Amino acid sequence: MAVYTQLSNEAIGEWLQAHYALGTLDFAIGIAQGVENTNYLLALCDAQGAEQKYILTLYEKRTRAEDLPFFLGLMQHLAARGVVCPQPIARTDGQVLSDIGGKRAALISFLHGKSRTVMRNQHTAQVGMALGKLHLAAQDFSGTRANALSLAGWQALHETVAPRLDEIQPGLQALIRDELQFLKEHWPQDHSLPRGVIHADLFPDNVFFTGDEVSGVIDFYFACTDFFAYDLAITLNAWCFEGRECNITKMQHMVKQYQQQRLLNDAEKKALPMLLRGAALRFLLTRAHDWLFHEKSALVTPKDPLEYVAKLRFHQANNDASIYGV
Amino acid in position 148: A
Residue of the chain from 18, 95, 99, 112 that contacts a second copy (CB under 8 A): 112
Give the single-character DSSP code of 302: P
Contact between 27 and a second copy by CB under 8 A: the answer reads: yes
Contact between 18 and a second copy by CB under 8 A: the answer reads: no
> CB-side exposure of 266: number of CA atoms within 13 Å?
0
Comparison of 43 and 151: residue with beta carbon closer to a second copy? 43
CA angle 236, 154, 290 (to 5 degrees): 80
The site string for a second copy over 279-318 (x = CB under 8 A, - otherwise) reads -----------------xxxx-------------------
Q: Give the span between the Cα atoms of 237 and 141, in whole angstroms.
A: 26
Comparison of 45 and 151: residue with beta carbon closer to a second copy? 45
**Phi/psi at 57 (5° precision):** -105, 125
**In the bound complex, what is the minimum distance in angstroms from residue 291's beta carbon to a second copy?**
14
Contact between 244 and a second copy by CB under 8 A: the answer reads: no
Residue of the chain from 73, 101, 113, 194 that contacts a second copy (CB under 8 A): 113
Nearest to 194 by CA among 275, 121, 129: 275
Contact between 32 and a second copy by CB under 8 A: the answer reads: yes
Nearest to 251 by CA among 128, 84, 111: 128
Comparison of 67 and 205: residue with beta carbon closer to a second copy? 205
Nearest to 39 by CA among 20, 22, 54: 54
Contact between 172 and a second copy by CB under 8 A: the answer reads: no
CB 3 within 8 A of CB 38: yes
Binding residues for a second copy, total number by CB under 8 A: 28
CB 197 within 8 A of CB 223: yes
Q: Give the span between the Cα atoms of 215 and 265, in whole angstroms.
A: 28
Contact window for a second copy (CB under 8 A) among 30-38, 82-90, 189-197, 251-259: 30-38
CB 286 within 8 A of CB 203: no
Contact between 26 and a second copy by CB under 8 A: the answer reads: yes
**In the bound complex, what is the minimum distance in angstroms from residue 208's beta carbon to a second copy?**
8
> CB-side exposure of 325: number of CA atoms within 13 Å?
17
Contact between 33 and a second copy by CB under 8 A: the answer reads: yes
Residue of the chain from 118, 191, 320, 322 that contacts a second copy (CB under 8 A): 118
Contact between 116 and a second copy by CB under 8 A: the answer reads: yes
Binding interface with a second copy (CB under 8 A): 1-3, 8-10, 25-33, 41, 43, 112-118, 296-299
